[in-house]
Structure 1
């Protein structure tokens, strides 16, 4: 019932994703980082930025009244969700198959300041010892595992809502 209501009203669905993204960021920053004391690794920071961008795109879509705008911002949010899911999947793989030598590499900003971008990006996805560390779990899943699941949920929900939009210019959708 709730899902049908959200999919029938794309602005509400986009708003819900924006709110969930904000809540996840608040949990990660306010609780995990500031209370528990976990410092994010470079891949965690990339996932955090992807989540911020998904939330912003969904918030813009929620404020739009045009189905064309919903399609544009929705597809951009899906693309960013796919990028976030890729990053989370790569980090999950590193956690399941840690490198033989676990060393803490440079942080994300140190990499970007010290190396050209075309060299820093592969270094981020190569991971380091801190990217493969499992510091916190919930129901058997790491932060990267849960991040992967939520990025897929967001992408799937947006695609389902976009597929339910009327085709052509004449269809008007309820807000």
Structure 2
């Protein structure tokens, strides 16, 4: 029986996941420097989550485990940064939907927060969000950038599990 030429290999699927993450980070950097969209702290944390997810995809693609357990392990490992990113993006989308009178006040810049707080305090303050995180500067097809990030985190999580658990 001939192998199906339209079935992607595990390495190809994980490489595509890496390229998607790299493209999303590239678009975020492009929008920052070409369009002047300054990222809020939640945006920066989403970029970090995409980078971590992309790293798992890249390592999985380069390693290309032959056994089912290895492929499934990478699929599950990818769920960690995808889950963190989904949480952050979901929190960000929630902030953008708040009525103006319920939006938290704008906080200090991320650099100042890092310098004046411990690591856990910084994470806590950033994840609580602030006024600059509630501002929507860009949308495409009716979805804001945080909403698109949420969609991509979910799609990439599904992709990682599919690639890791697909029978070969």
* TM interval, short-chain normalised: 0.7 to 0.9
Q: Which residue of 2 aligns with 1:91?
A: 92
1:74, distance to aligned residue in structure 2 (A): 2.5
SS class of match (2:64):
coil
Which residue of 129, 132, 135 maps to 2:134? 132
The 1-side partners of 2:90 and 2:156 are apart by 15
Q: TM-score, normalized by length of structure 2?
A: 0.88
- TM-score between both structures, scaled by the size of structure 1: 0.84
The superposition leaves residues 79-114 of structure 1 with CA deviations (integer Å, 9 ceiling, x where unpaired) of: 110110110000000000156355331222321221
Distance 1:65 1:33 in 2: 34
Stretches of 4+ aligned residues off by more than 4 angstroms: none
Residue equivalent to 1:154: 156
Alignment correspondent of 1:47: 46
| 1:45/1:108 contact within 8 Å kept | no
Q: Which residue of 2 aligns with 1:24?
A: 24
Structure 2 counterpart SS, 1:105: coil
CA contact (8 A) 2:14 2:163 kept: no
In structure 1, C-alpha distance between the alignment counterparts of 2:77 and 2:104, rounded to whole Å: 36
Q: Which moved more, 1:101-110 or 1:33-42?
A: 101-110
For residues 28 and 17 of structure 2, what CA distance do their matches in structure 1 show? 16
- CA-based RMSD of the aligned residues comes to 1.7
| Cα distance in 1 for residues equivalent to 2:7 and 2:107 | 46
Q: 1:123/1:151 Cα in 2 relative to 1: closer, same or farther (>3 Å)?
A: same
Greater shift in the superposed pair: 106-115 or 146-155: 106-115
Distance 1:144 1:94 in 2: 10
Question: Structure 2: which 5+ residue stretches go unaligned?
Answer: 1-5
In the alignment, does 2:4 pair up with 1:5?
no
Report deviation, 1:62. 0.4
Which residue of the partner structure matches residue 168 of structure 1?
none
How many residues align structurally? Answer: 160
CA distance in 2, matches of 1:128, 1:81: 23
